């Protein structure tokens, strides 16, 4: 692979205050064959003015006439890619100047489809908070092993800002799953790793911002994480290739994990009634949402099993 074009996808929504640092970090890369695709999801702040202030032919700016949604905007950016490698960056994050150069070098190995790195976690003001380092040293990783770990142990790979992908692998895997909100990136990494291997850089090549205005914070405040996790596990178990990674006992373990989500935050007892009512409403809402028929069919027995478990423990009629 000789100096391939890298498509940096920068989806954004109402992040004008962070955009200058994010865009500058892309333009100042030591690697040169770049295009920067900025998809603005109908922002209501001054994002357009901020983006337009950067006069650089490598920038391709697209405004959605109406808001598509978080994951849908990721897929909109992917639909515009022309490069052989895709590098995501969120609008509130930034890259070290050698991030793309390092990641492209790792993708020179044709067996590697996904590259990820240690991330510096920063707060809203850019102050250092902690480091997310999945492994102590840089290393080559077998894809199917990492896919299984990512399914069972959580998204240790990290947010899209920490990842670079081979475009051909994305084309084979398909788009981010728009049914999912919290786990869409994690589910994508698993699908990518089913078909190729990974490389990890222990050096922090990116900075990822965590703050109250993020989508993760919103889902945590509205207590949507549980139902999102059920949707994620269900999607994975319905995928035959992902399912094949697991033993029968591991499938049971994941199913039992779903059973525990309904009472994980409040425990089982008299005080958990209001929580359970809210959980049932969220689960029913998920079943009525714009979910493909196969997922509705899969979610329904999980939901029914959760109700049965709760009724048994509570000794009441739901």
Q: What is the pLDDT of residues 152-180, one digit of tens each?
A: 999 999 999 999 999 999 999 999 999 99
Provide the pLDDT for residue 212: 67
What sign does the dihedral 261-245-137-169 (CA atoms) show? negative
Provide the pLDDT for residue 64: 97
SS3 138: coil
CA distances to 33, 105, 108, 191 from 2, in Å: 11, 10, 8, 26
Contacting residues for 176 by C-beta, under 8 A, at least 6 apart: 71, 74, 75, 78, 184, 185, 187, 188
Provide the pLDDT for residue 259: 75
| CA nearest neighbour of 163 among 193, 134, 189 | 189
Give start-end residues of each CATH 3.90.550.10 domain in the chain: 6-215
CA distances to 48, 64, 292, 303 from 89, in Å: 18, 18, 29, 35
pTM: predicted TM-score of the whole model, two decimal places: 0.81
How is domain 6-215 classified at the architecture level of CATH? Alpha-Beta Complex (3.90)
Beta bridge partners of 165: 86, 114
What sign does the dihedral 146-150-152-153 (CA atoms) show? positive
SS3 47: helix
> Three-state SS string across 14-34, please?
CCCCCHHHHHHHHHCCCCCCE
Provide the pLDDT for residue 215: 57
Beta bridge partners of 131: 120
Contacting residues for 106 by C-beta, under 8 A, at least 6 apart: 112, 115, 199, 201
Residue segments in the chain with a per-residue pLDDT below the cut of 50: 265-276, 279-280, 282-295, 306-307, 309-311, 313-318
CB 190 within 8 A of CB 302: no
Any idea which residue has 């109406």 for tokens? 66
């Amino acid at each position: 692979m000789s100096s391939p074009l890298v498509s940096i996808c920068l989806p954004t929504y109402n992040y004008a205050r962070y955009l200058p640092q994010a865009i500058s970090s892309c333009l100042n890369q030591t690697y040169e064959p770049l295009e920067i695709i900025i998809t603005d999801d109908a922002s209501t702040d001054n994002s357009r003015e901020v983006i337009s202030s950067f006069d650089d032919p490598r920038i391709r700016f697209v405004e959605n006439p109406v808001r598509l949604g978080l994951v849908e905007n990721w897929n909109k950016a992917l639909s515009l890619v022309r490069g052989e490698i895709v590098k995501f960056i969120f609008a509130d994050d930034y890259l070290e100047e050698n991030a793309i150069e390092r990641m492209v070098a790792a993708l020179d190995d044709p067996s590697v489809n996904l590259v990820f790195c240690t991330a510096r976690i920063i707060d809203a003001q850019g102050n250092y908070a902690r480091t997310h380092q999945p492994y102590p040293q840089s290393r080559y990783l077998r894809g199917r092993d990492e896919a299984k770990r990512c399914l069972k142990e959580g998204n240790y790979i990290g947010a899209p800002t920490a990842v670079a992908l081979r475009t051909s692998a994305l084309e084979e895997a398909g788009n981010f799953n728009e049914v999912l909100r919290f786990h869409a990136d994690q589910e994508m990494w698993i699908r990518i790793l089913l078909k190729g291997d990974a490389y990890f850089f222990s050096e922090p090549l990116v900075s990822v911002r965590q703050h109250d205005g993020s989508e993760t914070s919103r889902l945590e405040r509205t207590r949507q994480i549980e139902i999102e996790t059920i949707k994620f596990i269900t999607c994975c178990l319905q995928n035959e290739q992902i399912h094949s990674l697991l033993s029968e006992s591991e499938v049971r373990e994941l199913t039992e994990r779903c059973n525990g989500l309904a009472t994980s935050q409040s425990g089982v007892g008299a005080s958990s009634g209001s929580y359970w009512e809210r959980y049932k409403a969220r689960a029913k809402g998920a079943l009525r949402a714009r979910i493909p028929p196969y997922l509705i069919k899969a979610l329904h027995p999980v939901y029914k099993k959760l109700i049965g478990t709760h009724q048994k423990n509570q000794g009441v009629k739901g």
